[in-house]
Amino acid sequence: MDAIEERLDREIDLREVAATALTSEYQLRRVFSVLAGMPLSEYVRRRRMTVAAGAVRDGREAVQDIAVRFGYSSADAFSRAFRGVHGIGPEQARRPGAVLRSQPRLSFRLTVEGSTDMQYRIVDKPAFRLVGRRTRSTVAHEGINPDADRLVRSLPDSDRDLFDELSDQEPHGEVSAWDDVDGSGTAGGAVADYYVGAATSRTAPDGYDVLEIAAHSWAVFTASGRFPRVLESLWRAVGAEWLPANPYRLVAAPSLVRAVDHGEEGVRTDVELWLAVGPTA
């Protein structure tokens, strides 16, 4: 995180930051969001406004000068960003008793002990498509995502029957996918396209959404437990344990999840997490 702290008062080139961490910008963004529970862009925004608040409270610089120093084109743009984090503008922040918010500096300590096996396999797949239903959704890193859950629960039996009919390859059955993740959503939260459907080589019937997925090698991780905790834990294990220990990196592609409930919904769920990977070299 030192590379980010050193650049808070200027434009941050995440490709440079990723290079210092010996990874790609895509992997840096994905792994950070999984481990920190927020998009990297949101963390940078909060940290920048935390540091800027010190200069504002100090009172020796004009707001315009502080805005320029932290990379904003105008005092108005800086004030909007400041208010988005602290809930008050810079002038109000200089008043006695003003309450500000602080984003602590994050640090990650990755310990790979090797005492617990992670089950995974590598699958090489040609291009295919996911045919189903889509919604634009916020991304929840913990707990049930209301937008995604609403879409899943709204599916009629006819859609689920169609997905079973279309499914002609792995991952089999009903599959969900996150694509086009954007960290600049409302209040800094990430938004993405969320799909529920079937992996297939067949043509989509009229009225259904289609996600075309290019040929990739996929790392497939499996786990069982209470949903969504089991999926959250699996994501964190991939970022904190599997990637540092294996000669692979994440590549830009949708992430796929196949989840099968056993018995009462949510009590025990078998999960497959499909992530597109490439060699680190």
Question: How many independent structural domains does the chain possess?
Answer: 2
The confidence band for 186, taking pLDDT boundaries of 50, 70 and 90, is very low
The tokens of 47 are what? Answer: 């940290």
Residues 65 and 131 in one domain: no
Q: Would you state the pLDDT for residue 118?
A: 73
Residue 233 has pLDDT above 70, yes or no: yes
Say which range, 123-127, 139-143, 160-164, 197-201, has the weakest mean pLDDT.
139-143
| Enclosing H/E stretch for 237 | helix 229-237
Per-residue pLDDT at 187 = 44
CA gap 158, 123 in Å, rounded: 30
Whether 87 maps to a domain, the answer reads: yes
Q: At what angle do helices 229-237 and 25-36 cross, to 10 degrees?
A: 140
**Do 14 and 153 belong to one domain?**
no
48 and 179 share a domain?
Answer: no
Mean pLDDT throughout 23-48? 83
Contacts of 4 (CB under 8 A, 6+ apart): 12, 17, 43, 44, 47
Per-residue pLDDT, 190: 79
What tens digit of pLDDT does each residue of 112-143 get? 444 456 778 999 999 999 999 999 988 877 77
What's the mean pLDDT in 98-124? 72
Residue 249 included in any domain: yes
What is the C-alpha separation between 117 and 74, in angstroms, rounded?
52
Task: Identify whether 131 is part of a domain.
Answer: yes
Give the pLDDT score at 45. 86
Residue 110 in any domain: the answer is: no
Do 145 and 88 share a domain, yes or no? no
Domain match, 89 and 124 both:
no
Read off the pLDDT of residues 32-42 as tens digits, 9 standing for 90 and up.
Answer: 887 777 888 88
The answer to pTM > 0.85 is no
For residue 190, give the CATH number of its domain. Answer: 3.20.80.10
Residue tagged 């025990």 (tokens): 268
Q: How far apart are CA 15 and CA 13, in angstroms?
A: 5
Shared-domain flag, residues 125 and 239: yes
H-helix or E-strand spanning residue 77: helix 75-86
Residues 178, 81, single domain; the answer is no
If pLDDT is split at 50, 70 and 90, which confidence band does 274 have?
very high
Q: Respond yes or no on whether the N-terminal peptide bond of residue 171 is cis (omega within 30° of 0).
A: yes
Q: Which of 96, 98, 21, 83 is closest to 52 using CA atoms?
A: 83
Q: Is residue 13 helix, strand or coil?
A: coil
Eight-class DSSP state of 122: E
Average pLDDT, the chain: 86
Domain match, 8 and 138 both: no
106, part of any domain = no
Per-residue confidence (pLDDT) for residue 7, from 0 to 100: 72
CA nearest 78: which of 60, 101, 51?
51
As a whole number of angstroms, the distance between CA 28 and CA 108 comes to 13
What domain range is 43 assigned to? 2-93
SS3 call for 269? strand
What is the C-alpha to C-alpha distance for residues 16 and 25, in angstroms, rounded to an integer?
Answer: 8
pLDDT band (50, 70, 90) for residue 8 = confident
Instruction: Answer yes or no: do 257 and 127 share one domain.
Output: yes
Q: Are residues 64 and 127 in the same domain?
A: no
Q: What integer pLDDT is reported at residue 184 of this predicted model? A: 45
- The answer to whether the CB of 17 falls within 8 A of the CB of 7 is yes
Q: Name the least confident of 5-9, 15-19, 243-247.
A: 5-9
CATH number where 49 lies: 1.10.10.60
For residue 176, being part of any structural domain is answered with: yes
Higher local confidence (pLDDT), 116 or 240: 240
Q: How confident is the model at residue 265 (pLDDT cuts 50, 70, 90)?
A: low
